[in-house]
Structure formats: C-alpha cells, structure tokens
Structure 1
Amino acid sequence: MAITLKHLRVSGPGLVPAVASFDGHRTLIHGPSDTGKSHIWDCIWFLLGGTGTLEQFPESEGYDLLELAFLNDEHEYLVLKAMAGGAARVLVRRDDIWVVAGAPNPLEDVAQELGELLVKLSGAEGKKVLRTRSEKGAITGDDLRHWALLSQPGMISRDATKGKGHGSDKRVSSYSLFLSGLDDSAVELYKSSSFKEQAKGKLAVAESELARLQGLIPAGTGRASTVAALARVDERLDMLTTQLQARSSVLKELRQQIAAEGGALASALTQLASATAICERFTLLDMKYLSDLARLGATDEGIAFFQALEETTCPLCGTPVEHHLDPSDLKPRAPKKYRDAIAAEAEKIRELRRGLQPSVAHEEARIATATADVQRLTASLKALEEQETFVLRAAGQEFDADPRELAESHTRFSSWIDAFDEIDRLKGEIARLEQETKQKRTVLVRNVGSHGDEVGAIARQMLNDWGFMSIKSVYVDPAACDLVIDGRRRLSYGAGKRGLFLSAMTIALMQHALKEGHPHLGVVVLDSPLKAYAQKESADNMDRDIPTATVNASFYGWLSRFEGPGQIIVLENEAVDPATARALNAIEFTDDHTHGRQGFYPSKTVVAPPPAPASDGTEFDDFE
C-alpha cells in the first residue's frame, strides 16, 4: 500500500507549466528563500486534500490549475485542482502503468472522494480512531497529512506535535495507529455531553414518576401487608365465587326443573284443550242426533195421524181428495212405507248415538286426565318458583360482604402492588441514570508494545547519521506522540534540534509503519529541516553542540543513501556539496535570471502557446 509522489505541475493559459518531478525514494529541492520551495510544500498539502487557499505572488500570476501525480502499486493517479480552491478531480489509469510504448492507457475519473481514496491507498480504510473520548470516527486524509507533511513553522514550534484543542485526540489516535497498527475500535467511549443531558432528563422524569407513585400509597403501607390484604380479599372473593357457583348450580337445576315442568304444563294444557274441543264437538253431534230423532218422531206422528183421518171432499170446491193429491199417496201402503223409512232412519241415528258414546267417554277421560295433570303441574311449578324465590332471597342473606366493596378493594390493593413494583423498577432505573450522568475519567493508555522502542531505535540511528553521535537513548512517548532524547522531551531543545528531531521521528515512523505493514501515507515532505539549526542569531538555538556544516553534510549524505522504505522530499535553503547534489539528483533553484533554474515558476519572458484540449488523459503522459 502507500503512495509515491511522481510530479507536481502547475499550469495556466499561455504559460510554461511549472513542474517538479520527484524521485521514488528521495528528492532534494534546495535554493535560496523566495524561490518557491515552501510553495511546493503548500501545493502538495493542498492537492492531498488540505483546505484553505494558496497564497498568490507575482511569479504565480496567471497559473490556475494544479496537478499532482502519484503511484500506488501498479496504478497511476492524477489529482487536479484549481488554485482558487474547490473540489479536486481525481483520475486513474486502470491498466498497469508499465505498458508497451504507444499502447492506449487512458485516464479515467475516480468516483471516490480524494480523502477517502488516500485513506484506502494508505491501508487505513475501516480503521477507527478517537475524535474525542466520547466519539469514534474513521481516519481521514487530514490525519495522514499531519504525520507526513512537516512545514517549517511546524518543525520549530513549541506546540505539541499532536496539536492543541479540537482534533488533538484524533491526532494521538492516528499516530498510535501508524505506530502500532492497532486502531481504537476496542476503546470504550466516554459518555458525551448530549448523552449525559438526555440521561439527566430521563432521571428527572423517573424521579417525578417515583414521587407520584409514592403519593398513591398511604403512609405506613408496606408491600408485604398489601399483598396479605389482597390475599384476604382474593380468599373472600373465592368464597363468594364458590357460593355463587353453588347457588348458581342450585338455581340452574331449579330453573331446569321449572322449564321442564313448564313444558309439561304447556303440553297438558294443550291436551286438555284438544280433548275439550273434541268432546264439545261430540256433544254437539249428539245434540244434532237427538234433534234428528225428534224431527223424525214428529214426522212419524204426523203420518200416523194422516192415516187415521177419513177421506172427505174438498171443503172449498167439494171435489174428491184424489183430485188434489197423487193417487198413489192415497193408497193404504204409502204412509206405512214413509213410517218404515222414518223408523229405519231413526234407528240409524240411534245407532250413531250409541257409537258416539264411547268416543265421548274417551274424550271425557282425557279431559279428566289432562285436568288432573294441569292441576298437578301448576302446583309443582308454583312450588318450584317459590323455591327459586327462596334461594335468591337466601343467597343475598348468606353473603356477608358486598361484592362491589371486595372488587374495589381488590383493584386498590392490586394498584398499590403494581405501584410498589414500579417504584422498585424506577429506583433501579434512577440508580442507572445517576451513573450515566457521571463517569469516572480514566487515563487512556494505548498498548504500543515495543513499537515505540523500534521507532526510537530508527530515529536514534538516523540522528547519529546526521552527526548527533552523542545521542545514546531515543524512545517514543506515545501519549505525547513525540520523542524523548537522552531523557529529555524533544520540545525542551532549541528550535534547530526540535526541527531535526521531529524530522527524524516523522521519517522513522514512516519507515517502521511501512516495514510492519501498518497504515501510512508512505511519503514524508520536509520544509527546511536544516534552516533553523543553521540560524546562529536565534535566541532559541543555544544548544547547537554540533557544527552546522557537519549536520548539513551528514544530513545530505544520509539522504543521498536513503533507499526506503517510503519516499522523502526535502525542501531546503542550506547549501549542499556539489558531489552530494549530483548523487541526489537535486533540483536547485538559483534565484538568478542568468543561469540555472530561477525558481519553481519559469520566467514570464518565455511564453508557450495554449495546450490543445484533450479528454483521454494523454496530455499528461509527458510527465511519466
């Protein structure tokens, strides 16, 4: 993982681009002040996600587009950003950068945000660091820049390397990640202020509810006595229920008997009505038969009387009677035939009456039986109803407690018990919330193991190589994110040594992280690490025990031999031996229009035509 810076390019319409190419291991750009060295550091910071705007000066007038190329494994990335600011555009060559000459290998846009991309390429993706003791977050590009790019003011500052105020906790966390490879995923967070305020609000609500519940329970009432009282009420309610069930069973049986007797009575009444109706019809029929017999008897008597009369002429006309009647009716046998027919009809009716009598007797017997049944069932039903009335009246007399009062007592005691239980729960909740509103502050000690000693050993060897041969002990104070040299804190030294010691620690941290496979950006950019040590007039530089020339020569010599791991870019004012400069392939700014490279930006006397537009990324191939 990690990245390797390839080149920095600044362009503008009609202007010759300003370009600084970087070696894969070490690059030295040196020259006098005001030639653009610190501006190069600013541009790298800006293009690696730094905020703010770049300072403008006469040499940069007309330049508007910044470009930073860097490598990661077998892929090349290009970051484009306006000098005025705004979002960065990130491009990548998807194919391997080492392709046959002339083969197409276009640049494509990267959808990922620049800071997230750098975190991914540095191997820190998914790592968690403490932003504060109450908040975790992902590592950011700002953390990578802080421990990789050292400005001149930052090197000699007496401020802690982790910074101060907002963000210092995050700096310590990211430093520990680079140092040990372990993030803060397992660190227990402090409770945030908002969380505590929420807990206080919940605590106030719980205390208010507790006071309300305690007010519902009479003074001196305990849960045990309330449970006992509720048990007694339950017992009486059970007895009442048992009595009611027994009474209900008796009433149920009585009402079943009443229903049965009522049904039987209705059936008996139906039978009585039916028999009575039939008997009445039979009586009516018998009366009809008697009427018919009387009518037939009268008719027979009339015929007999007619037979006894003598024949006489008509008193009106004096004619014989046969002139007025059917002669056959005057024959002696005719009345007899009428009387015989009447006698036969009468006998038939009497026979019908004789046959009707058993049916009448049967229906009268049914009437008698049904009447007896109705009387018996009526009496039985009345007795059952009286018994039901007695049972209902007796039930009211047997219950020695008012069911309503028992129900109200049961409800009251149950609510008290619920209140007692809720009070117990609220007391536990209040105790928990009281703990949440306060938390014991503990010192966070990260277990970096031997990593601090290893970085210290790399830094000590580096400082010995830089000429500080008297240094015997160097180790890392992980809490301060800084070195302790021969028992002294780095910040206790003068400005010159502070800058060099911080440079040594930053480089050592990068080398150790890359060697161990820990996350790191993979590049260190140092702005004027030697300048402060060379300033003799500085009042903050009184402990310069090694000659400046020795330190400068040793530093540049060490840099010329540096082969990684990682990449070092040094921007420096101090002169370098020509042989060492050649070994370093150093970029020299002369601040002279007559020879060499004047500075980072070309002279405005040279004007180039505007570049032709291109969209496939091949316009950047000249800088590979």
Structure 2
Amino acid sequence: MGRLKLSHLTLTGTNAAPASVDFSPHVTVIHGPSDTGKSFIVDAIDFVLGAKELKEIPERAGYSRVLLGIELPTGEPITLARSVDGGGISLYRADIRVAPSSPADDTLAAKHSAANTKNVSRFLLDQVGLDEKQVRKNARNETHMLSFRDLTRLCLIGETEMQAEEAPGLSGNPVNKTKEVSVLKLLLSGEDDSALTAVPSAQEQKRLRGARQEVVERMLGQLESQLQDVAEPAVLTSQLGRLSRTIDEYSTVIGSLTEQRGQLLQQHNRIQSADSALRSEYSDATALRQRFALLQKQYESDLARLGMIREAGSLLGYFRRGTCVFCGAEPSSQHHNMDCGEDTTSFGVSVDSETRKTRGLLDDLRVTIESLDARIEVLRASIRKTRRDAFVLQKSIGELDATMTPRRGTFVIFSPSAAR
C-alpha cells in the first residue's frame, strides 16, 4: 500500500498574494491563538479532497482557488486545484504554488463514482493501490466500493473529533459503524470484503417464503385436478398387475433381440476383419502386378535388342568365317568355336544363349502374371461380396435397434409375437 505526502496548501487570488503553508516530510506543528485559521487549514485540505464546501472565514476574502501539493508514492509531485466556490478539481502534474497559467493536465469530479474513474477519489485510491476495493456496509454482508472519503475521515482529525468520546476511527453513528470497522480492517490487513455473500433482509426473506408457499399451493392444486380422473385403488392394482405381466413378456423379447444383435455384431466384426485382410492382399497384389508389368516390358525390350544385335551381326558378317572384323586376323590365325559347326562365332553363341534365357524368363513371367491377374479378380469379387454382407448385417442391426428403441405410443400396441 503506497503513501501520499502533503507538500503544501496554497490559496491564490487575483488581487491577493498567495498564502501558503508548507508541510515538512516528518511533522508540521501549526500553532496560534483561537480563531486565527488553524482549523481552516484542515477544512481546506478536506475541501480539495472532495468535501462539499469550504468554510467561510474573514481571512479567505480575496482568494478564489485552493492548491494542494501532493507527492505520490512514485515520488511524482502533483497539485490539486479547486475553486473556493466548489465544482471539479483540476489536476496538474507539477508542484504549483501560484495561480496556474496553463491548462490542467486533467479534470476530476469531486464526488466518488463506482462507474467512472474520472474523480479525485478513484484517482487517489489507485495511487495507493486501494481502487475497486469492497467494504462491508451492514450486518447482511452487503458491500460497496471503498471511497477516498472513507480514508479522509481517518487522516484529517479536527478539534471536535479529538475531544469526542468515541474510539478513534469511529464516528459514533451506529448506521456507519459496520463500514467504519471494515475500513479499519482493510487498512490493517490489506484484505477487502469482496468475498462476502449478501444475506437477504428480513423483508426479502418474508417475500421468499410467501413466494415458496404460493408455488407449493399452486402445485398442490394442479395435482388435485389431475387426481380427479384417477381410478379406484382396486382398478389401479389390477392395471398394475397387467402392466407387470406385459413388462415381463417384453423383457423376454428384448433379451432375445439383444442376443440376436450380439450375434449379428460378431458376424459383422468377422466380416470387417476379413474385408480388411482382403483389401490388404488386394493392395499387395496390384502393386506386385505393376512391378511385373515393368519387368515384362524390360524382358521384351531385352529380346528386341538381342534380335537387333543378331540381325546387325549377320548383315555385317560378324558371324561368318574369314578375316576377323574385330582384330583383322586371317582364318589360319583364328581360334574357332568348334561347337558351332563353323557357321558362327562365340559372340553369336552368346547372343543366342541370352535370347533363349530371356525368352524363357518372359514365358515364366507371363504365366505368373496370368495367375496373379486371376487372383486379383478373385479378390475383387470377394471384397464386393464382403461389402454386400456387411451392408446386410448393418441393415439388420439397425432394424433390431429400431425395434428395441421405445417410442411414444408403441408400448401399448407392441406385441411379443410381432417382435419375434
């Protein structure tokens, strides 16, 4: 909680020299004979802080404005100025001791307002960290916002309050005693009364009791009017027996339907598991089919290249006897492949061998692709079938749920045979 320090009190007028009282940072003692204006200093401070009017004394003649210098808890000096005739309070953010010649930095209302912060009470409370604090005002725990006027009464003690028999901090007014004690508690502990819950007054409690009684009487009247058409106890007992038997029959039917529903759910779960496995296998098979297609294209491309090599070699004479097309050796110096019947070279043998091997791989691949395509078709048909089966089961489960769901009016016409 911050502290406000008074620095001076100054009265200014158009045709009068400023009259000022400086306050020490520690203790200031003002003394003098009676009726010389000592109490007027306290009244003037109270007036600048929001009191309704300033006491009229002969010494006040010629003065039109009261200036109160204050040092805020932050150390910033300010001056509050107010006309001796009342009205708003001008705020200057400087230490001013003569008639101000410049416009005020802000204008504050003299009266406290909980809905508006532009008043001297909310401004000063905010400086000391007590703005928006709540204090209890009566025994019913009703609260209102703390006003700086509640604190001014504790800070500005006049001669009358000094001589009063009441304890310090209390005004002696029984109506204000609860609030005054709450203000003292707030200053001592730093905790306000915002957590209190208001208790209804005796008059409000009486109204509530009357309202409750009226509601109960109205409900009783409605119940009595509804009970006028109710049958005799014997008839009601007979109806209750029939209802109990009917409920037992329906309970048996509902139990059977519940068992059927559980079986359908198990079948549906198995179909879903099978569908998931089929979809996974189908995905793997289609991916493998795509890779086989690429491999088939590669084999076909290899066979085309080998055929082109065979044809080019025949046209260029790579595979005939004579001068070697690679090294230029004469036939007598060449090493022939004796297994070729003297009509091919070893290069031609390699081409033919690679062609036979690649053609064999391609034939095997085509058989595998044919088998894989057949499996893919089987998987597609199986997935379609599981979808149809799952749809049929879902429809059956929905029909059972609709049968077991109670609807208005169906209890009377529902029969166990229809349910079965």
> Which TM-score tier does this pair reach, normalised by the shorter chain?
0.3 to 0.5
Normalised TM-score (structure 2)? 0.48
Normalised TM-score (structure 1)? 0.33
Structure with greater Cα Rg:
1
